[in-house]
A and B are shown apart, each in its own frame.
Chain A
């Protein structure tokens, strides 16, 4: 069965600083990988996804993520954080040939200081 670990429960950065949120997954083959964002009081919105091909994927709102098979990681990055990026971020893995289930990490809460 697949699993996802987000090692950082809470991260605080200053506005304008760079950001990297970590995600490690466990799955026996090449997974489908997703990053979702949840703003306060809102549902989840897809930031980006990796299915195959180029291991560096671009998403919305200036985010990108890199799939590293050797490290079983899919870290999310942004070069310059804006105050509006304050939210909770979830990494998710989907298994090919499964019931299309997504398994989510426990989330990383991002606080942005002015």
Chain B
């Protein structure tokens, strides 16, 4: 089954404790992206990657890191989480053959930083 998976689905942590949220897709998509969703703000892009070893900042990159060492994986790293990073996070992927394609979303990771 074609899908985007994220782990963990739920995470409660404390300020300053490094964490990684994993994202994996099995559709051989080139493009992957991370979003955060906050009430009243919709989805905002954190980082995106157009291919292996190619990443760039989205609209709200502060406090986050990403890497793209393999095509299928795109982990989101919070080196020192803070309470304002409490949010619902979505990973997405799409083909990127020269056009904007629909993005396939993972189920989301709800993160709480105390």
Q: Which residues of A contact B (CB under 8 A)?
A: 9, 32, 34, 36, 42-46, 49, 51, 90, 94-96, 98-102, 104-107
**Interface residues on chain B, number (Cβ under 8 Å):** 28
Nearest residue in B to A96 (C-beta to C-beta)?
B100
Q: Are A99 and B107 in contact (CB under 8 A)?
A: no
Q: Are A100 and B40 in contact (CB under 8 A)?
A: no
Q: Which residues of B contact A (CB under 8 A)?
A: 4, 31, 33, 35, 40-45, 48, 50, 56, 58, 90, 92, 94, 96, 99-108
Q: Contacts A43-B108, A51-B99 hold; do A101 and B58 have CB atoms under 8 A apart?
A: yes
A to B contact number (C-beta, < 8 Å): 56
Q: Is the interface of B mostly helix, strand, loop or mixed?
A: strand
Q: Are B50 and A99 in contact (CB under 8 A)?
A: yes
Nearest residue in B to A94 (C-beta to C-beta)?
B100
Q: Least Cβ distance of B102 to chain A in Å?
A: 5
Which of these, A9, A42, A98, A104, contacts B100 with CB under 8 Å? Answer: A98
In angstroms, Cα B25 to Cα A43, docked, is 14
Of all A-B residue pairs in the complex, the 10 with the closest CB atoms, nearest first, are: A94-B100, A106-B42, A43-B105, A32-B100, A44-B105, A104-B43, A43-B107, A104-B42, A46-B102, A100-B96
In angstroms, Cα B107 to Cα A99, docked, is 23
Nearest residue in A to B95 (C-beta to C-beta)?
A100
Chain A residues in 8 Å Cβ range of B33: 101
In angstroms, Cα B41 to Cα A104, docked, is 9
Nearest residue in B to A6 (C-beta to C-beta)?
B42
In angstroms, Cα B13 to Cα A1, docked, is 36
Which of these, B50, B90, B106, contacts A100 with CB under 8 Å? Answer: B50
Nearest residue in A to B100 (C-beta to C-beta)?
A94
Chain B residues in 8 Å Cβ range of A101: 33, 45, 48, 58
Chain A residues in 8 Å Cβ range of B42: 90, 104-107
Chain B residues in 8 Å Cβ range of A49: 102
